[in-house]
Amino acid sequence: MFKILIKEGVIFREFNSHFVDFIGVLNDVAEKMGFIPTITSAAEGEHTLSSYHVLNCAWDIRTRGLKEVNMVVFNLGKNLEALDRRWEIIYGDKDHLDHIHVEFNLRS
Ligand SMILES: [Zn+2]
C-alpha cells in the first residue's frame, strides 16, 4: 500500500520529476522495511535561499520512530543513485539527526 504522511505545515510549491523519483523510492524502501514515512519539510521558507528546498528539489524525512535509520539512509541512497548520481542524502551530523535530508543536486 502506498502511504506517506506529511507533517502539518509542510508546503509543496511544485511536484516535478525529481519529486516523483524521490517519492517512488521512498515508498519502495518504506514498504520493504515496513514503516510509514513522514515528510517533515519540503519548500518552506525557513531554509536558506540557496537551499534545494527552495528550488523544490529537497525533502526531509522524520527519523523519530525509525528503528533502522542507517539502513533507511543506505537503501534510499542506493536506489536513488541507481536512478541518477546527482542525488545526495545527508544524515547524522548535528543538523541532521531528527531528519534525513534528500536532495537532487542540480549543480553536480
Ligand atoms: Zn533538508
pLDDT one-digit tens code per residue, 4-16: 999 999 999 999 9
How many angstroms separate the alpha carbon of residue 33 from the centre of ligand 1?
A: 22
With pLDDT > 90 as the criterion, what percentage of the chain qualifies? 87
Q: Which three cell numbers stand for residue 39?
A: 515528510
Considering its fold, how many domains does the chain have in total?
A: 1
> What does pTM read for this prediction?
0.93
**pLDDT at position 70, please?**
97
CATH of the domain at 81: 3.30.1380.10
How many angstroms separate the alpha carbon of residue 60 from the centre of ligand 1?
A: 5
**pLDDT at position 47, please?**
67
Q: What protein residues have CB closer than 5 angstroms to ion ligand 1?
A: 60, 101
Residue-number span of the structural domain to which 85 is assigned: 5-104
Place of cell 507533517: 7
How many angstroms separate the alpha carbon of residue 97 from the centre of ligand 1?
A: 11
What is the Cα–Cα distance from 23 to 45, expressed in whole angstroms? 21
Give tens-digit pLDDT for 27-67.
999 999 999 999 999 998 666 766 899 999 999 999 999 99
